[in-house]
Structure 1
Amino acid sequence: MRKENSTNAVNEQFLFQVCELNSAIAMISGRWKSQIVYSISQGNNRFHLLKKELPNISEQVLGRQLKELEKHAIIIKNEIPATVPIGIEYILTSKGKDLVPILKTLCDWGKSYAEGKKITI
């Protein structure tokens, strides 16, 4: 964990104040978050379903990424009543639902301009 008065922390705070884009990117940055959000939007809303959809992610990383998405109010964790053990499902908030078309657009942009593709001006 980084110190609050470190150069990196100060620079991050400055960038967040200058442009909301930096704050938005920080919320969804991470190797798996965009895939997790998209998977939840497609109905893979339980831990085991996400793990099945993203087999290369470790359970520890999946849990951490879900907690971070929950912290940023992109998803909420909902207990499923009358299940033993208690079942948990992840639901996109309105903020998360608004993010899905943006992720799709970024995906399309990536397909067009992925590393190694020729870019014309």
Structure 2
Amino acid sequence: MKVECIGDMLKVNDKLYPCTVSLAMDLVGGKWKTVILYHLMDGPKRYSELLKDMQTVTEMTLSLQLKQLEQDGLILRKVFGDKPPVKVVYSLTAFGKTFVPALEAILAWGNLIAGQQGEFL
């Protein structure tokens, strides 16, 4: 029997999932979470840097996705300074870094598709 099928349901942090794929997609699924993790893969970045790197994301969406990734323990939000303007830096946690091999596989697959069917503008 496969690991993801050992029981009827999987419980993680008081949330129920029908399988481990559902758990993984809850953590990194959607349009922007994986892209954010990709941009943090090489090191910490400030909010404005992420916004610049992800030109089509709205500020509200980026803020919401960052909060969710922080809540799920994939990224760390570090604030420098007490008084505005404060400096806020985001980075991958040790748990977030465990996603890097999957992220590299997604990147390789995306590069393959781009090379076969796309063109960079």
Tell me the TM-score normalised to structure 1 length. 0.72
Structure 2 counterpart SS, 1:55 = coil
CA distance in 1, matches of 2:81, 2:24: 33
CA distance in 1, matches of 2:24, 2:57: 23
Segments of structure 1 that go 5 or more residues without pairing to the other structure are 1-11
Between Structure 1 and Structure 2, which shows a larger proportion of strand residues?
Answer: 2
Q: How does 1:1-121 map to 2 (within 5 A)?
A: 13=16, 16-17=17-18, 19-43=19-43, 45-81=45-81, 84-112=84-112
Identity %: 30
CA distance in 1, matches of 2:112, 2:74: 27
**Number of residue pairs aligned between Structure 1 and Structure 2:** 102
Between Structure 1 and Structure 2, which shows a larger proportion of helix residues?
Answer: 1
Q: Deviations over 1:54-90 (max 9, x none)?
A: 0100000000000110111001111123774111111
Structure 2 counterpart SS, 1:43 = coil
Q: Which moved more, 1:92-101 or 1:74-83?
A: 74-83
CA distance in 1, matches of 2:38, 2:110: 15
Structure 1 counterpart SS, 2:99 = helix
Q: Quick one: which amino acid aligns to residue 21 of structure 1?
A: V
CA distance in 2, matches of 1:106, 1:68: 21
CA distance in 1, matches of 2:73, 2:88: 16
CA distance in 1, matches of 2:66, 2:112: 29
Structure 1 counterpart SS, 2:85 = coil
Q: Which moved more, 1:78-87 or 1:48-57?
A: 78-87
